[in-house]
Amino acid sequence: MLVLNNKKFAINKSEFVSSLFDASGTCSGFYKDAQGGIKLYDHQNKLRAFIVRNPAAHAYFVVSAHIAENKKTYYHFALSSLDEKWLGFDSLSYSAKVNAAKNISFV
């Protein structure tokens, strides 16, 4: 399980279902490792965001992402206001968002 800004993301459906009965709360969606970061999906498996994690360049941030009809993945330059709200980033400063992306945890 991945935790980003106190939001939990499951690696698979089994982990998601077990979170339904967890006192610490239900998962917000799913995650998958990807080259250069981590893809975040909502509970309906729709790609919503990408956590950029590039330690060599000291780059840690989150951007909106989606899969188009042509099956290509597109990454935005920032988080949309809807995705900020979904991730709980809407009230965070820029540096707090960077720290959240840098300090994700796996439990």
pLDDT one-digit tens code per residue, 87-104: 999 999 999 999 999 999
Question: For residues 43 and 30, what is the distance between their CA atoms, to the nearest angstrom?
Answer: 7
Residue range 6-44, pLDDT digits in tens: 999 999 999 999 999 888 889 999 999 999 999 999 999
What confidence tens digit (pLDDT) does each residue in 47-70 have?
A: 999 999 998 888 999 999 999 999
Strands annotated E in 1-107: 2-4, 7-10, 29-34, 37-42, 47-54, 59-67, 73-75, 105-106
Find the helix or strand (DSSP H, E) in which 81 lies: helix 81-87
What is the spatial distance between Cα 28 and Cα 21, in angstroms, rounded to a whole number?
14
Query: Tell me, what's the pLDDT at 95?
Result: 95
Domain range list for the chain: 2-106
